[in-house]
């Protein structure tokens, strides 16, 4: 029960840390200047300093709720985002001209997905063992391709006389040491 009149009821959820939330949705956490863990997005205002907390991000607000900080370029962008957030069940906590915070339930997948979409937070890729093996094979083959040695990379008198050198440092025709 809330002490204020007309206050939205906080849903009864099990407390979840930001680390568990990030693990569940395969996103990365970073520490801000206060030492708290946040999930940062790619949406960063150009007129702000290059610090972690000046990007759109998701943070732990307490009481089993998470917050979404949006820093947008225009009033129209914030108003459109605000309409979308309130329609999805977010509670607007701070409402500025081009920025604001909204609280959401971390257990609700649609709210979490919308928060990630608006802050431009991307999930990490999960590779299957087959895809991982294929990628490591491509990397192995790329390391075996000869390094291009044109006139711009070395003067003619400094180039090895025996031919191209492999990316691994071996010369063409040499076998790898077992």
Three-class SS of the chain: CCCCCCCCCCCCCCCCCHHHHHHHCCCCCEECCCCCEEEECCCCCCCCCCCHHHCCEEEEEECCEEEEEEECCCHHHHHHHHHHHHHCCCEEEEECCCEEEEEECCCCHHHHHHHHHHHCCCCCCCCCHHHHHHHHHHHHHHHHCECCCCCCCCCHHHCCCCCCEECCCCECCCCCCC
Measured CA to CA, the distance from residue 11 to residue 26 in angstroms comes to 24
pLDDT of residue 125: 84
Phi-psi label, residue 25: left if phi above 0, alpha if psi -120 to 50, beta otherwise: alpha
pLDDT of residue 174: 62
Cα-based distances in Å from 130 to 22, 135, 141:
25, 9, 17
Out of 3.30.40, 3.30.160, 3.40.50, 3.90.1150, the CATH code matching 18-119 is: 3.90.1150
pLDDT of residue 168: 59
Bridge partner residues of 65 (DSSP): 62
Bridge partner residues of 68 (DSSP): 58, 102
Phi-psi label, residue 173: left if phi above 0, alpha if psi -120 to 50, beta otherwise: left
- 136 near 128, Cβ under 8 Å? no
Measured CA to CA, the distance from residue 119 to residue 71 in angstroms comes to 9
CA–chain centroid gap for 111, Å, is 17
Collect the ranges in the chain with pLDDT lower than 50. Answer: 1-5, 7-13
| Residues of each domain in the chain carrying CATH 3.90.1150 | 18-119
């Amino acid at each position: 029960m809330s002490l204020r009149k007309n206050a939205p009821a906080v849903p009864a959820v099990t407390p979840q840390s930001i680390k568990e939330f990030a693990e569940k949705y395969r996103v990365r956490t970073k520490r801000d200047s206060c030492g708290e863990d946040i999930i940062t997005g790619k949406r960063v205002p150009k007129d702000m300093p290059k610090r972690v907390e000046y990007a759109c991000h998701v943070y732990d607000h307490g009481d089993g709720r998470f917050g979404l900080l949006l820093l947008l370029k225009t009033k129209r962008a914030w108003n459109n985002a605000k309409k979308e957030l309130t329609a999805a069940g977010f509670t607007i906590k701070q409402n500025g001209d081009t920025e604001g915070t909204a609280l959401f339930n971390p257990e609700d997948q649609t709210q979490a997905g919308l928060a990630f979409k608006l802050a431009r937070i991307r999930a990490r890729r999960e590779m299957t063992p087959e895809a991982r093996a294929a990628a490591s094979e491509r990397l192995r083959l790329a390391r075996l391709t000869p390094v291009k040695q044109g006139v711009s990379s070395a003067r003619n008198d400094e180039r090895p006389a025996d031919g191209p050198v492999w990316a691994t440092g071996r010369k063409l025709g040499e076998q790898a040491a077992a």
